[in-house]
Structure 1
Amino acid sequence: MEGSVTWIVVPNDDALRHDILARFHEDPLAGHPGSTRLVKLVWRSFWWPHLVMDAENFVRTCSLCQHNKALSSKGRGLLQPLPVPDAPWESVSMDFVVALPETEGGYDSVLVMVDRLTKMVHLAPCTSSCTAEQTARLFFR
Structure 2
Amino acid sequence: MQYQFKFEKILSIKEREKDEAFNIYNQSVKRFETAAEKLYELLKKKEDLEAYQSSRLVNGLAVQEIRHHQHFIHQLEKTIEHYQQIVINARSHMNFQQEKFLEKNVEVKKYEKIKEKDLSNYAENVRLLEGRQMDDISIQHFMNRGN
TM-score using structure 2 length: 0.18
Tell me which structure has the larger Cα radius of gyration. 2
Structure with the larger RCO, 1 or 2 (CA within 8 Å, 6+ apart): 2
Structure ranking higher in helix proportion: 2
Structure ranking higher in strand proportion: 1
TM-score using structure 1 length: 0.18
